[in-house]
Chain A
Amino acid sequence: MRESLLEFLRAWLPNLMKRLPEFWKATCDTLLMEVWAGSICFALGLVFGIVLTVTKPGGIMENRPVYQALDKLINLFRSIPFIILLTALMPLSRLLMGTAIYVRGVIVPLVFGATPFFSRQVESALAQTDKGLIEAALSMGSSPFEIIFRVYLRESVAPIVRATTITTISLLGLTAMAGAVGAGGLGDFAIRYGHDRNMVDITWVTVVVLVLAVSAVQWLGEMLARRNTH
């Protein structure tokens, strides 16, 4: 049984089966990039999204200079195409991570690429909070920090989960591009063999793995969001 399955796979996916260890490594690299960059981006984006929300005109900690500076900075980084960001941030990456290649070297550009996007997503998630709730919390004597944690974040769990889902998936796209500068990962694997050496089976399997990953993230996100909606 097991033999015949392997036989079958070798017949249909000849190139992949010869490079299985490399394939596993590429998958793990992609996963590593996703987890590291994703976690940092989640933390930073959450903070920036909150700062944007509370400092904007009419916010609970209104602060024009802070809002304007952060707003412009986010727009700036959102306008730079990721492939340019990858190369432009190499010096910073060497400074911070000690290298500009492999998984370690690509975390910095991935964070710079995805955080502005996620910050905007968080901002718009928090903007859905009913103004009346903020007013009620103020009337009950809540401080601005209390309102951030006990009203804004608590009431926005579902939209923030959705924002995280979208960002995770778009980050997956960015990790594929990161392969171009030597980060490795599934994108790099598919290009190097599937495209450059015309090994079509490798391209297909990579696509299938990515589709499964995206579906899993999407399913998990939807489930968590639904659980937090009353």
Chain B
Amino acid sequence: MIELEHIVRTFRADPEKPPVTAVNDVSLTVGNGEIFGIIGFSGAGKSTLVRCINLLERPDSGSVRINGVEMTELPPRDLYRARRKIGMIFQQFNLMPSRTVGQNVAYPLKGSGLTREQQRQKVRDLLELVEIGDKVDAYPSELSGGQKQRVALARALANDPNILLCDEATSALDPQTTGAILRLLSDLNRSLGLTMVVITHEMEVVKAICRRAAVMDHGEIVETGDILDVFSAPQHPMTRNFVRTTSHLSKLDDLLREKSPMVRLKEGQVLTRLTYYGQTGISEPLITSAARKFDLDLNIILADVEIVADSMIGGTVVIFQGAPDRIDGALQYMRDKNVKVKVIDDARVPA
């Protein structure tokens, strides 16, 4: 359990200038075994916030409680011990280039009370766990990015932590490798019951593995909750912006701006954006049943539906064509099925 309360962290690069606030009064709670995402554009303060959890950054004020222990009050020795139970992985992996893979993973085991042979066994087990057991004697410079992150993960797990902090852990990896690492993180979360805090600027990462997420902007958390709610019904403009930039539906804005023939309406047509929320009615064939029921032609221009936390979210851009009152009926039918309907352009002849 991670409890952050009213965390403030400022930096003063230049004594002449006023300090820059990197994290401004942030409170959040991450439950045991949860994968919690923190997203935001770069410079939003995510990295500083996550470093406040293991006190790599000491907050100016506020409270950091890990499993009920107030971290900010621990004397140095106890803090070092507490950090052993909080693993961390980084965007740049941070493996020690002069040590082999095995030596890197063994680094945090010094002083753990294990014998040499037990340490060797532990290193082997950890490397098996991250599916890279054959690289024990390789140097980091001989590994690919994905392999390096696996080694870093094994090292972070060496002291059997119950918390794992991931600071942009997949941002330096290609999409395929990102997928593999995210699956691994997800598996570890399930098999070891690890609590994870995942910092990222990539929506895909949060969508792929998080149940709950917070959106950060200018040092503050502007939105937090179940990722289904956050992504299907973003409240804050910043979140909406984030969701929009990652959705294919944002192409509609381009098409409209370019006055593309795709969205130029003939008389009697209505251009709409339909947005789906979670489970609501998506399993039903809404488009075709509306078309049949109201005797309309529906032309899908764009569609983007994603599975987030086992539910579908997303939307379609559809041109309705048919009798004006029947179109109204169909739109109402959609609304009744809990679909958000937005009429973008209406070329019906007023009756």
Q: With contacts A132-B94, A133-B96, A138-B56 known, is A143 near B88, CB below 8 A?
A: no
* A143 to chain B: closest residue by CB: B80
CB distance from A145 to the nearest CB of B (A): 11
CB distance from A192 to the nearest CB of B (A): 47
CB atoms of A139 and B107 under 8 A apart: no
User: Which residues 138-164 of A sit at the B interface, judged by CB distance below 8 A?
Assistant: 138-143, 146, 150-151, 154-155, 157
Q: Does A130 contact B (CB under 8 A)?
A: yes
B158 CB contacts on chain A under 8 angstroms: 140
Q: Does B35 contact A (CB under 8 A)?
A: no
CB atoms of A139 and B56 under 8 A apart: yes
Q: Does B98 contact A (CB under 8 A)?
A: yes
Q: Does B108 contact A (CB under 8 A)?
A: yes
CA distance A132 to B83 in the complex (A): 16
CA distance A137 to B104 in the complex (A): 11
CB atoms of A139 and B98 under 8 A apart: no
Q: Does A11 contact B (CB under 8 A)?
A: no
- Contact residue among A139, A141, A228 (Cβ-Cβ distance under 8 Å from B81): A141
CA distance A164 to B8 in the complex (A): 45
User: Which residues 197-224 of B sit at the A interface, judged by CB distance below 8 A?
Assistant: none
Q: With contacts A135-B56, A140-B84, A141-B80 known, is A230 near B97, CB below 8 A?
A: yes
CA distance A148 to B284 in the complex (A): 63
CB distance from B340 to the nearest CB of A (A): 43
* B91 to chain A: closest residue by CB: A132
CB atoms of B97 and A140 under 8 A apart: no
Q: Does B237 contact A (CB under 8 A)?
A: no
Number of residues on chain B facing chain A (CB within 8 A): 32
Number of residues on chain A facing chain B (CB within 8 A): 20
A69 CB contacts on chain B under 8 angstroms: none
Q: Does A136 contact B (CB under 8 A)?
A: yes
CB distance from B38 to the nearest CB of A (A): 17
* B88 to chain A: closest residue by CB: A139
CB atoms of B84 and A230 under 8 A apart: no
CB atoms of B96 and A139 under 8 A apart: no
Q: With contacts A133-B94, A139-B86, A140-B108 known, is A230 near B139, CB below 8 A?
A: yes
- Contact residue among A130, A146, A150, A230 (Cβ-Cβ distance under 8 Å from B94): A130
- Contact residue among B83, B95, B141 (Cβ-Cβ distance under 8 Å from A140): B83
CB distance from B101 to the nearest CB of A (A): 11
Q: With contacts A130-B94, A150-B107, A230-B97 known, is A142 near B56, CB below 8 A?
A: no
CA distance A150 to B77 in the complex (A): 18
CB atoms of A136 and B94 under 8 A apart: yes
- Contact residue among A135, A138, A142, A157 (Cβ-Cβ distance under 8 Å from B98): A157
B124 CB contacts on chain A under 8 angstroms: none
* A155 to chain B: closest residue by CB: B98
CB atoms of B88 and A136 under 8 A apart: yes
CA distance A205 to B279 in the complex (A): 91
CA distance A150 to B104 in the complex (A): 11
B159 CB contacts on chain A under 8 angstroms: 140-141
A142 CB contacts on chain B under 8 angstroms: 80, 108
CA distance A151 to B110 in the complex (A): 13
Q: Does B41 contact A (CB under 8 A)?
A: no
- Contact residue among B84, B96, B140, B155 (Cβ-Cβ distance under 8 Å from A141): B84
User: Which residues 51-93 of B sit at the A interface, judged by CB distance below 8 A?
Assistant: 54, 56, 76-77, 80-84, 86-88, 90, 92
CB atoms of B98 and A154 under 8 A apart: yes
CA distance A51 to B155 in the complex (A): 29
CA distance A142 to B88 in the complex (A): 13
B98 CB contacts on chain A under 8 angstroms: 154-155, 157, 228, 230
Known: A155-B97, A230-B139. 20 other contacts (CB 8 A): A130-B94, A133-B94, A136-B155, A137-B107, A139-B54, A139-B56, A139-B83, A139-B86, A139-B165, A140-B107, A140-B108, A140-B155, A141-B81, A141-B108, A142-B108, A143-B77, A154-B99, A155-B98, A157-B98, A228-B98
Instruction: Jot down 10 A-B pairs with beta carbons below 8 A, ordered by A.
Output: A132-B90, A135-B90, A138-B56, A140-B158, A141-B84, A141-B159, A154-B96, A155-B96, A230-B140, A230-B141
The 5 closest A-B pairs by CB, nearest first: A136-B94, A141-B83, A132-B94, A141-B84, A139-B88
